[in-house]
Amino acid sequence: MSERKKVLPTPIHLLHALSLDVVARLERACSKAIAETESMAGKLDKECEKVQEKLLSSRQHLQEATVKGKNRSRARSRQRVDELEQRLYSLKERRAQTWQQLASLKRDTEESLSLLEGVRAVREAAGKILSRRQSRRSAPRVTVAGNSANRLRQQSQSH
């Protein structure tokens, strides 16, 4: 049994491996960044909803304190309403920024993936070269000595 020679990595092997790695890493990174940003935007949406509910409740409490004439309670409620309004405003700004960032990220991802087509083409070309080389290695080889021996056998059989 002939032992197979270990194929030494060539620059083509390296190019194929690197292009494969670049494609996989960039696709994963883009997917992860989009997923994380969407998750963050979702959390901000939920937090805005909670703050809006608290603000509504605090405004009702302020109205009740005003109707009952409770100045101390009204002052605390007014302060709470002001704090919640500031927090809601801040959350809405962050949410808008996050959605803008997500839109920008999706555009960048689309552009990056279209540029990645060039890397994919390099990977495919390198893969074709490597497969051609592999098929040449695995094809049966006829040597000069083998041809001479075959001719001698044929000549001896014809006599």
The residues, ordered by sequence, that sit 6+ positions from 112 with a Cβ below 8 Å of its Cβ are: 26, 30
Q: What are the tokens at 85?
A: 């309004």
Q: Which residue is it, tokens 């002001």?
A: 82
Helix (H, G, I), strand (E, B) or coil at 1: coil
Domains annotated on the chain, with CATH: 11-138 (1.10.287.1700)
Cα dihedral 56, 57, 63, 65, rounded to 10, equals: -160
Q: How confident is the model over 110-150, as pLDDT tens digits?
A: 999 999 999 999 999 999 998 998 888 776 665 555 555 55
Q: How confident is the model over 16-27, as pLDDT tens digits?
A: 899 999 999 999
Q: How confident is the model over 11-57, as pLDDT tens digits?
A: 888 988 999 999 999 999 999 999 999 999 999 999 999 999 999 99
Q: What are the tokens at 134?
A: 């592999």
Q: What pLDDT is stored for residue 140 in this prediction?
A: 65
